Amino acid sequence: MTCRCGCDDAVNVVLNPWDLSQFSIQYPNSHFTPQHPEKTMQERPPSCATRHSKGNGGHMSANLPWRLTMLMLLSLLLISCGVRNARCSIVPSDNSMDMLWLLDFKAATDDPTQSLSSWNSSIPHCLWKGVNCSLAHPGRVTALNLTRQTLQGKIAPSLGNLTLLTTLILSSNGFFGQLPTHNRLHRLQYLELGNNKLQGFNPDALRNCSNLSYLDLSFNLITSSLPPNIGSLSSLVQLDLAQNSFFGIIPPSIQNITKLKFLALSNNQIEGNIPVELGHLPDITMLLLGGNMLSGRIPRTLLNNSALSVLDLNSNFLQMKLPSNIGDTLPNLIALQLQDNMFEGKIPASLGNASFLFIIQLSYNNLTGQIPTSFGNLRDMTYLELDHNKLDAKDNQGWKFLDALSNCGSLQVLGLNDNHLNGAIPNSVGNLSTSLKELGFHYNYLSGTVPEGIRNLTGLTMLLLDHNNLTGPIGTWVGNFKNLSVVSLSDNKFTGLIPSSIGSLAQLTELFFSRNNFEGPIPPSLGNLPFLLQLDLSNNSLQGHIPNELFSRLSGMTNCIISYNNLDGPIPPEVSNLKQLTKLDLSSNKLSGQIPVTLGECQGLEILLVDNNFLSGNIPKSMSGLKSLSMLNLSHNNLSGSIATELSNLPYLTQLDLSYNNLQGEIPRDGVFRNATATSVEGNWGLCGGAMDLHMPMCPTVSRKSETEYYLVRALIPLFGFMSLIMLTYVIFFGKKTSQRTYTILLSFGKKFPRVAYNDLAGATGNFSELNLVGRGSYGSVYRGKLTQAKIQVAIKVFDLDMKFADKSFVTECEVLCRIRHRNLVPILTACSTIDNKGDPFKSLIYEFMPNGNLDTWLHNKYLGSSTRCLSLAQRTSTAIGIADALAYLHNDCERQIAHCDLKPTNILLDDDMNAYLGDFGIASLIGHSTLDTSMGLKGTIGYIAPEYGQSGQASTHGDVYSFGIVLLEMLIGKRPTADPMFENELNMVNFVQRSYPDKIHHIIDARLSGECKIYIRTSIGTENAAHGCVLSLMQVALSCTRLIPRERMSIREVANKLHSIQTLYIRETKREQVLLR
């Protein structure tokens, strides 16, 4: 600041308004230094003019020392004006100015942890935390490093005045806003602002930083196209813009940065082709472009750039055959990361010539052929990941790569999961490096026994052999892996005992042996695994008691699944030791005794399944301690007594099944019991009351004298229902045309319902008017109507008997609906088989009306003509769970297995509360039924039909699982499996999703879910959000359901259990996020 004195000769006063302690007034023969006034850095004015225009407010008193000093100073200056040719100035030194710029930065920055407490005038600023000064220019700041100091706010522009600054590091803090202009920092070489919350970047802000060689803006919130003038930063050697939201194309001007060696644009939304200009950068050694939307081919200029050492293009949409000479043109390559693209053809054998390669990641592509034996030349190779391709090994020649890999003494990871490897695993697998930590062969076509040579791989921490056809007992080799953390042998044909030597694997955290033919007892030695978190021994033939050691010692276990075995005896009371347990599944065994009272101490338990056993006694009141419980299934046991009212106080309980026990008394009305669709209590003849929608009898007030009569009436109800079924069958099969008869009796399916005639149905629908037409199905039409007598809305399905198989469809649906009752199956009221007013045959089914239509109308914006109403992720998840539960009931809990055979969104109906119901059993099959388990042509609807139906036409529950997977994918991506034009030729919905799963699903999910499913929550937790995690898990389930080979699909029971777990986690994580984001 310059102030002029009003004297004859100009007197220039150069004032620094921030710090008077450095001022000196210069006269020809004397010096005067004023005292530094007491003031705070927050009160520094930018100029004389603004300081004197503050008014008379609160700043007056705060600035009083300043004003007094200025008054004294100006007085002295006025006196000095009498000296001829006198010139006075107040000049701050450069080093003091640097201190002032730093203090300005401090004042503009939030410092919650007081990281800058040393920044005060009592300490020389060159000793302040993070500050380095020049030796050649004492007091001048040359470097500022404040990484990881929890600083927040906008970056103060005053740092741009530190003109000798060469290094500025503010990474891993909470700075936000735009990158400020630093045009005075001519000497700046290193600028690190990564891992903050910056939202904008313009290269013009650095246009005068001609020496800038390192720029890091990674892990910020910058949302913009890549600046077209980015090439103006011509001195850059390293440029890191990864993990932002840059979009658009890579600007061709980037070729102007000729010194560039490191370029990272990973995990943005950059699209288009990789520009050929990148290949013109002569010194480029590391190119990281993964996690974008790049398409097309890799430019030949890039593949011929011999300077490249790291090429990371993972998770894009690149499609081409890899050049056969890639290993020759890129001789200095050390890492090749091309996973999760659409590369096809064979793996080039020339990669074995790139002798420095130690990372090869080609997973999730469409590569075919054999694995090159030339990989054996790569002595330093550490990671070889070829998972999820179509690589084959059909004979000894195809397996020779395994012999070659024995030369790779540093190999740590060998991933060959989900390929087309056939036959037995060669014994030469034991010749692989003892440094090998992860070995993956799951989801292949391996057969035979596991070779004993595998015991030599003593360094293994992960062994994945699941989903193959491996046979025989587990050999003694398993006890050799002392460092093993994860072992999965599920979905094979292993037999014999589970070896007790597994108990010596002290580092084991996950053990998966499900769906094999293991027999004998569960080894008590499993209790010796102190770090075991997940245990799955389900779907085997294990016998005997559950060992106490399993529960008494494994206090850290989170998942324990030993369902579908032949285990007997009681549930060990030591279960109370499992404090971290979230899922306990003991269902479908032969367990007896009472539910242990100690179970209530497992306060983290979220899923408890003990159904289909022989448990007896009361439901313990101690279960009120299970405050995290979301799913409880105690069905199909011998439990007695009343329902513990404490269950109604469990805040997160959303699914409760108490059906088919001997429970008595009144059903509670609070908590989960309010929701009839979430509660199942059928098969307990002593229960009464509860929510109206449970359709249970009212609890009578009876005297001892009439108690016997009451229970006699209760016993007669099922007999009456059976007689009604016989009468209905007679009407369906033996009803004849009679000219005098114009109506037939409508027999109720277990409910009181008035008899109505054909004319009643015609009147309810306006003589079957198009105005009341709800939809058309395979064998008829559905109308909405209101029965006058009953005064309720109904849906009337009228069969078009001129269509082939329509009459058989009616019989099939009646036969099936007579056998089933589930909260997620469309409630049928009655059936009608008669003649109409013209004397023609008439057949119809009458259902409860579902006011929210079907799932298809909601997924594809047809509901009530609205394009704004859509299903939330929570509603879609709940819908999927409802249908999975219904299918699980049909497949497992009916007298005879029922396959629906036509699962699709139009057959999924939604009630007032958006609860899902499965309907239309017109082509359902009773598995093993002589008349109904026959084909009526191709079963199902194109796009939803399981592939195997096109060959055999034989209905199966596997086909329903496939259809469910397609419906679930449709719910997630918002596209129909056939109507969308992109699903043509060889591209279908399944492989369309597979190409984007898991890293790019945000590109394909339904746009109406995109707001919920942002990949990263940009908060201090910086992690995947609950919605994205939920979608990812749902897609995993859907893809498991749609596997090509039926036996490889999950059972619908497993699907239902998995979906309930996903929903529970989603609810919990959503609540956690809401707390974190407050």
Cβ contacts of 124 within 8 Å, gap of 6 or more: none
* 3-state SS class at 988: coil
Q: In whole angstroms, what is the distance from residue 551 CA to residue 548 CA?
A: 6
The pair of structure tokens assigned to 746 is 């409508």
- Position 272, amino acid: G
Q: In whole angstroms, what is the distance from residue 381 CA to residue 360 CA?
A: 8
Is 902 among the catalytic positions? Answer: yes
Q: In whole angstroms, what is the distance from residue 156 CA to residue 784 CA?
A: 67
CB atoms within 10 A of CB 987: 12
For the four alpha carbons of 484, 487, 493 and 498, in that order, the dihedral sign comes to positive
Exposure string for 108-145, b = 16+ CB within 10 A, e = fewer: bbebeeebbeebeeeeebbebebbebbeeeebbbbbbb
* 3-state SS class at 901: coil
Q: In whole angstroms, what is the distance from residue 439 CA to residue 416 CA?
A: 8
Nearest residue to 666 via CA among 634, 690, 646? 690
Exposure string for 463-483, b = 16+ CB within 10 A, e = fewer: bbbbbbebbeebbebbbbbee
CB atoms within 10 A of CB 438: 19
CA distances from 1012 to 292, 413, 685, 841, 1066 (A): 20, 35, 45, 52, 12
Query: Which run of H or E residues covers position 1038?
Result: helix 1026-1041
Q: In whole angstroms, what is the distance from residue 881 CA to residue 808 CA?
A: 30
Residue 103 Rama label (left phi>0; alpha psi -120 to 50; beta) = alpha
Q: In whole angstroms, what is the distance from residue 989 CA to residue 859 CA?
A: 16
First to last CA, the chain: 45
Report yes or no: 348 and 327 within 8 Å, Cβ to Cβ: yes
Nearest residue to 901 via CA among 850, 859, 937? 937
Nearest residue to 893 via CA among 636, 585, 721? 636
E strands in 524-661: 534-536, 541-544, 559-561, 566-569, 583-585, 590-594, 607-609, 614-617, 631-633, 638-641, 655-657
Query: Which run of H or E residues covers position 107?
Result: helix 94-107
Residue from 893, 902, 920, 933 carrying the catalytic annotation? 902
Residue carrying the six token digits 């999965």:
488
CA distances from 936 to 190, 667, 900 (A): 73, 44, 13
DSSP code for 153: E
DSSP code for 1019: S
Q: Where are the alpha helices (DSSP H) in 498-553?
A: 548-552
Residue 430 Rama label (left phi>0; alpha psi -120 to 50; beta) = alpha
Is 797 annotated as ligand-binding?
Answer: yes
Angle at 165 (CA atoms; ends 163, 168), nearest 5 degrees = 135
The pair of structure tokens assigned to 897 is 């297995």
Nearest residue to 653 via CA among 669, 672, 667, 679? 672
Catalytic residues: 902
Q: Which residues are annotated as a binding site for ATP?
A: 797
